[in-house]
Chain A
Amino acid sequence: MAHERPTSGPMIETRDLRRTFKARKTEVEAVRGVDLTVGTGEIFGFLGPNGAGKTTTLRMLATLLKPTAGEASIAGADLRSEPQQVRERIGYVPQGGSTDPAETGRGELVIQGRLYGMNKTDAQQRAAEVLATLDLEAAADRKIHTYSGGMKRRLDVGLGIVHRPAVLFLDEPTTGLDPQARARMWDEIRALRERGTTVFLTTHYLEEADALADRLAIIDQGRIVAGGTADELKRQVAGDVVTLGVNGATERVLETVRLQPFVREATSEDGVVRLYVERGETAVPQILRLLDGAGLEAASISLHRPSLDDVFLRQTGRSLRDEAAA
């Protein structure tokens, strides 16, 4: 379909986007002023724990939820004044599925194309193309209740791209998938970018954001706490991370090493001391010597490059891994 689409510059731009829910007498601020810029043709990751406001933001951008305040433009259309144009230019793949189990994969793709204005022939042709792209041809005429979880999710993505949208929104695209199906989905998402689609995805998986996203934003409690490429974000953490397992003596260990010039930051949590240091390979021997001198002992010591979890931890004081597991 011929729409006027920006070929460069931001595909999504939001300014101070907010959403408040009223529950009885209290007001819940789910999204508290989100500013985002997503470039054309990139995979943008929106990372945060459950309940951080990811889905609420996504539903606002997909025209399903009216923002309480703020502005947004998507693929050159204004979210508030031109929702119909936004709808024509975006695809949206919701978290919990989007298909009727009694319908066939092909049936869903054809009606979807028709609802985007295609005639019957075009919709059938496009459905066949999408089925081939997503390797669903063998199951095309089977009812969807016979599909595996991974097949269903691929079909959901197919429904989102039938009309060749400029932007595709994916809400937690791999939640509930086994590792094989997840790897497969990552490949599909990368292939979408190759074909020029801008992809905006939410995830609470660090690995997913790290592996897939060209750029990402981390959201917590309705606010963006960090943004950039994964490497940029990790560099903010500065240097390396040394994790010390100490039996009970957390406070004393912290006191001993905290003020050393090579330690940028030190935190402790559940009997584990975490040090952000400039150069890990020289810091580890020094740390051990210091502890020795103070008559302290480390039960374990490990050195690693900062992960997105360290970024999240630094910004919020909590670990995303614990949040995701909870």
Chain B
Amino acid sequence: MKTARDTWLIFRRSLILTLRQPTWLIFGIMYPVLYLVFFGPLLEGAVGQSGGDVNAYNWFVPGLLVQVALFGSAFVGFGLIAELRYGVVERMRVTPMSRTAMLLGRSLRDVVLLLVQALIMVALSIPFGLTLDPAGIVLSFGVLALLGLAVAPLSYAAALALKSEDAFAPLIQGVTFPLLLLSGILLPMALAPQWLQTLSDINPLTHAVDAARALFNSDWGNPEIAIGVGLTSVLAVVAVWVAARTFGRAAS
């Protein structure tokens, strides 16, 4: 009860403060938009030549949405490092507020923002030939939200541990870039040699991408939906638990 109330308070505060600096919106979708415009047509040509029957954008855009969710949540620790420096986090740690709410309030803000960004991406993709199924969009956005809840808390935990942008930025880049390349967002992993496919199968992001693709295109019978949703849910629970503990621990 108290946690829910405090979560709402922190969610509202952090959302309002973020909206006062709207540059986040542009930076968050800059790379996905570039991929959409400069890489999408290339992919369309390749898929067309190989005689595939699926619309290239309906294959490509769900992956880009996962990319939006990944980047929209992996870098949120930057904001927390600024808050640490302002003394805001320490000030709130001295209040009796719920420690879990410190994490959840911010993470839910991140989820809302990444869903807004994903919605903008979908809208931008329509002129390229993306076809829409409302139920598919809603359910695939659920996967994006779960992914945000799995990644943002870990970003916060890393920020609390490192406390400096200089250490945080290379860590996040070093983790997200291989995850992205191995996830099959840009090209189908079916084209990859076996060892690369194996690496890709170990990558949890691959399964989130596959689930998002299946849901987006209303491919309800696809077993990847259960695998992707299940795996991402487990990751989200673990991430929230770990990061809430980090927020709760008195600094040492």
A residues near B, CB below 8 A? Answer: 59, 62-66, 84, 87-88, 90-92, 94, 96-103, 107, 111-112, 114-117, 159
Contacts and interface: CB of A to CB of B under 8 A. Distances in A.
Closest 6 CB pairs of A and B: A98-B91, A98-B87, A92-B94, A87-B96, A115-B97, A115-B95
Given A62-B94, A103-B17, A115-B9, A94 B87 contact: yes
A206 to B, nearest CB: 26
A96 B91 CA distance: 11
Interface in B127-141: none
Contact of B9 (A97, A98, A103, A111): A111
Nearest to B90: A94
9 contacts: A64-B90, A87-B95, A102-B21, A103-B13, A111-B13, A112-B91, A115-B6, A115-B9, A115-B92
Contact of B96 (A64, A65, A84, A98): A84
A114 B250 contact: no
Interface centre among A65, A66, A98, A115 (most CB of B within 10 A): A115
B181 to A, nearest CB: 35
B242 interface: no
B95 A66 contact: no
Given A94-B90, A98-B88, A65 B9 contact: no
Contacts of A111: 9, 13
A83 B228 CA distance: 41
B163 interface: no
Contact of B86 (A62, A63, A64, A100): A100
Contacts of B13: 103, 107, 111
Interface string B85-114: 011101111111100000000000000000
Contacts of B252: 65-66
A107 B17 CA distance: 10
A101 to B, nearest CB: 7
Nearest to B88: A100
Contact of A64 (B6, B17, B83, B250): B250
Given A63-B94, A94-B87, A114-B9, A100 B17 contact: yes
| Main DSSP-derived SS at the A contact region | loop
A83 to B, nearest CB: 8
Interface string B1-42: 000001001000100010011000000000000000000000
Contacts of B91: 92, 94, 98-99, 112, 159
Given A102-B20, A102-B21, A90 B96 contact: no
A99 B17 CA distance: 12
B94 A64 contact: yes
Contacts of A114: 9
Nearest to B249: A66
Given A87-B95, A115-B9, A116-B96, A65 B250 contact: yes
Given A92-B94, A115-B9, 16 more contacts: A62-B94, A63-B93, A64-B90, A64-B250, A90-B94, A91-B94, A94-B90, A94-B91, A97-B86, A98-B90, A99-B91, A101-B86, A102-B20, A115-B6, A115-B96, A116-B96
A100 to B, nearest CB: 5
A102 B13 CA distance: 11
Given A64-B250, A66-B250, A102-B17, A88 B96 contact: yes
A76 to B, nearest CB: 15
Nearest to A21: B252
Contacts of B92: 115
B90 A99 contact: no
B95 A116 contact: yes
B142 to A, nearest CB: 30
Interface string B61-97: 0000000000000000000000100111011111111
Contacts of A92: 91, 94
A98 B95 CA distance: 13
B221 to A, nearest CB: 48
Contacts of A91: 94
B93 A64 contact: yes
B95 A112 contact: yes
A62 B87 CA distance: 14
B118 to A, nearest CB: 25
A59 B87 CA distance: 13
Nearest to B97: A115
